[in-house]
Structure 1
């Protein structure tokens, strides 16, 4: 049986922009209710579109203050873990390539953006006569689901009048569960927030929701002077929102309807059960990794992703060969016909395997089976390593693991 949202794709494809109006509500400017999907300001194509539109709105607002001729002085900020969509959006918005500051993160901070490093970067730009414009913070980074400290970052940006956007493309779905709302502490201070319901909240691709503190900033940057259908309604005093003025697209699919149907079919408790079951399975996998002394969990698990690797062993070359060792393990795991498919990340110079629980069909026995495959392949690789290093002259470097 097709998921409820998929059943409505034909309907949403045939319904234009005006169809979104009954479902979508305004977000109060005093506080952004990021856990309430029905209060979303707009449903968009993808998260990158939310980033681009808010960046354009921030750009125009800032240039209205400092003069349009200073566009070359604008600087935007992110971490080195921020999705590349942000850098692409910055280029489209006219920000110079060397004015996009990707601030270095480190393992000791679990690869979250450091407020101290951000403050130093902004101050250096101000001292150089440049103008801080925009910060893209992330809740649940792509590689390791790191969580940037929203409240602390907003405290750093506030004196500079920087627009703060929160990209919660993956992890935003977890906010339906009260136990995860701590990750957005301080969100009331941000200017915009987006998440992709099609990543983890049972809506099929595509369905991005966005909240914005001041919709007027979007309208000022993206609005059109010519009015057509909605002009008469607005002149009669009706509270009409023309969403083409909030976005790049004009006519588009009725994405809010499929999100509404997901909410109606599953209910808030059903969505919470869905998220919690995935997190519970990830926790179980994490425990199995920690119980095997050959492995280590590289980053803190916050949601349903476990980043792990075989521990570096001195007798096999330590850290110098650890990445090749784990790269070989990943290849062997994914080569097992009936086994799991795992992805990888290379963060902070460490190559790690990623076990992401996200399919609606995943059950506990699948997670157990996946771990068994990882253990078996690790045992086979380590046996090969023992043979290789036992026959190698002392001090000879290099590592090559032959494929099966």
Structure 2
């Protein structure tokens, strides 16, 4: 393909993308294919000779499209949003054009410096403490800063590695030599709640430390008291607490952990305090949500995903550290073929030392496009629109009388279920029957396939999660969700009556 054909085919591809987004709501949101469907449609070897773009484009529609679950549909309410936007797509196109492998400043100075600038922009938009900025107000280099990772899971691993490095340095400062420090590493413990995202446990598996899951309270929060009790027990058993994760917007219920209390415990025990705000962090762009995040200014690291609820295509996970030295000390490896810039390093960061991989994409471009083409006001309007829709859905479900809201609706996630008392002939405490009915409701909703959502289990109760947040959805989609939920709930209750 030469540049002439690329121009032609590129325009066709952009038209196809625009057509797709214009027609999203007319498609069932969930793919209905069976496992292995594509293997039967594809040749079992790569083509020996070149094939035409026309044939490939045809196969996109006939073979690939049936196997796509449409995350961008306004009728997609599963998991958490995975926002895309046209500005972000354009930014990704330019990133693909440059195709830099930006492991250090020399690779492409603009790739490094734009990331430094944009991450400071983003930190200001969220109201993050100055500790997390790469550049101080006087334009000199700060101790902290931000980096764009691929996912919150990568960010979790990176933060935990930094926490391990900080604890090792602390033990050495207390007088331990290298052999003694190496002899106690297997005793290091990382702490999470039973509601923390699975990336926390995966991070401990990767770096080889112990993990402790602390029971959450009745509001699904990790509390200071529960964390203290777990740490005291582990210290009694000869273990060494070194890392704790507090969550601002848990996966199951969007609960907010006791951030100030966790910060107290972490400081008293020389532990690294990481805040996972993968979903709800986007809400901090709106000042009215910042009181909910009191205490994050005391964290050692903070992470949220613009690719969830801030209009930026996957992958784009923003991680800030208040002091980068532990992260860099842990991950920096010198090779002669990886030269460093001499002199000032304020804008010449080697981001390879802030992440697990060496190579990295020019992700900052799409975030830059989004922040410029929407502006802070447009991003806030995007967030607030979904919160209003979530509050509307909460009100409608409660007014219906057959549902209960399982967790406070702080953001755009509504966690609900059919009340046990709504089931015919059922006592209010028959949780087994209620659980079966709610599991059945999820199945019926997704089989109907006008909307898509997922269920989960919290404290042994089966519930439904409606995650509102599509960049291409509107209030009419949420009204359709409510219509489908109530219609199919009536069907479930009717079956109970007829048994």
**TM-score w.r.t. structure 1 length?**
0.88
Match of 1:62 among 138, 158, 167: 167
Match of 2:100 among 15, 24, 40: 15
Match of 2:377 among 261, 264, 269: 269
**TM-score w.r.t. structure 2 length?**
0.72
**Offset at residue 376 of structure 1 (A):** 1.2
Match of 1:392 in 2: none
Question: Structure 2 vs 1, CA of residues 335 and 229 (structure 1 numbering), >3 Å: closer, same or farther?
Answer: closer
CA separation in 2, counterparts of 1:142 and 1:10? 31
CA separation in 2, counterparts of 1:74 and 1:210? 23
**Offset at residue 64 of structure 1 (A):** 3.1
Match of 1:347 among 458, 470, 474: 458
Q: Counterpart of 2:455 in 1: which secondary structure? A: strand
CA separation in 2, counterparts of 1:10 and 1:249? 22
Match of 2:495 in 1: 384
Match of 1:401 in 2: none
Match of 2:480 in 1: 369
Q: Counterpart of 1:309 in 2: which secondary structure? A: strand
Match of 1:3 among 66, 82, 86: 86
Match of 2:194 among 80, 84, 103: 80
Question: Structure 2 vs 1, CA of residues 174 and 82 (structure 1 numbering), >3 Å: closer, same or farther?
Answer: same
Q: Counterpart of 1:23 in 2: which secondary structure? A: helix
CA separation in 2, counterparts of 1:299 and 1:257? 37
Query: Is 1:322 the counterpart of 2:434 in the alignment?
Result: yes
Match of 1:161 in 2: 270
CA separation in 1, counterparts of 2:156 and 2:118? 18
**Offset at residue 198 of structure 1 (A):** 0.3
Contact residue 27 and residue 213 of structure 1 kept, 8 A = no
CA separation in 2, counterparts of 1:148 and 1:227? 45
Question: Structure 2 vs 1, CA of residues 237 and 7 (structure 1 numbering), >3 Å: closer, same or farther?
Answer: closer
Deviates more, 1:74-83 or 1:51-60: 51-60
Question: Structure 2 vs 1, CA of residues 179 and 241 (structure 1 numbering), >3 Å: closer, same or farther?
Answer: same
Question: Structure 2 vs 1, CA of residues 262 and 160 (structure 1 numbering), >3 Å: closer, same or farther?
Answer: same
Q: For 1:215-258, what per-residue CA distance to the aligned partner results, in whole angstroms no more than 9, with x for missing partners?
A: 01111100113355653x32x44533111111112221111111
**Offset at residue 34 of structure 1 (A):** 7.5
Q: Counterpart of 1:316 in 2: which secondary structure? A: coil
Deviates more, 1:115-124 or 1:241-250: 241-250
Deviates more, 1:7-16 or 1:46-55: 7-16
CA separation in 1, counterparts of 2:328 and 2:337? 16
CA separation in 2, counterparts of 1:94 and 1:61? 16
**Offset at residue 27 of structure 1 (A):** 12
Match of 2:126 in 1: 35
Contact residue 122 and residue 132 of structure 1 kept, 8 A = yes
Question: Structure 2 vs 1, CA of residues 174 and 23 (structure 1 numbering), >3 Å: closer, same or farther?
Answer: same
Contact residue 76 and residue 132 of structure 1 kept, 8 A = yes
Q: For 1:177-211, what per-residue CA distance to the aligned partner results, in whole angstroms no more than 9, with x for missing partners?
A: 11111222011211000111000100000001111
**Offset at residue 36 of structure 1 (A):** 5.5
Match of 2:448 among 336, 340, 352: 336
CA separation in 2, counterparts of 1:27 and 1:111? 34
1:79-228 equivalences under 5 Å are: 79-95=193-209, 99-106=210-217, 108=218, 110-226=219-335, 228=337
Q: How many residues align?
A: 377
Match of 1:395 in 2: none
Deviates more, 1:254-263 or 1:316-325: 316-325
Contact residue 125 and residue 285 of structure 2 kept, 8 A = no
Q: Counterpart of 1:57 in 2: which secondary structure? A: helix
Contact residue 92 and residue 365 of structure 2 kept, 8 A = no
Q: Counterpart of 1:49 in 2: which secondary structure? A: helix
Contact residue 163 and residue 191 of structure 1 kept, 8 A = yes
Q: Counterpart of 1:248 in 2: which secondary structure? A: coil
Match of 1:400 in 2: none
CA separation in 2, counterparts of 1:124 and 1:187? 26
**Offset at residue 343 of structure 1 (A):** 0.9
CA separation in 2, counterparts of 1:229 and 1:326? 56
CA separation in 2, counterparts of 1:273 and 1:59? 40
CA separation in 1, counterparts of 2:461 and 2:190? 27
CA separation in 2, counterparts of 1:54 and 1:47? 10
CA separation in 2, counterparts of 1:196 and 1:237? 30
Query: Is 1:246 the counterpart of 2:357 in the alignment?
Result: no
Contact residue 26 and residue 41 of structure 1 kept, 8 A = no
Contact residue 203 and residue 258 of structure 1 kept, 8 A = yes
Contact residue 74 and residue 133 of structure 1 kept, 8 A = yes
Question: Structure 2 vs 1, CA of residues 359 and 6 (structure 1 numbering), >3 Å: closer, same or farther?
Answer: same
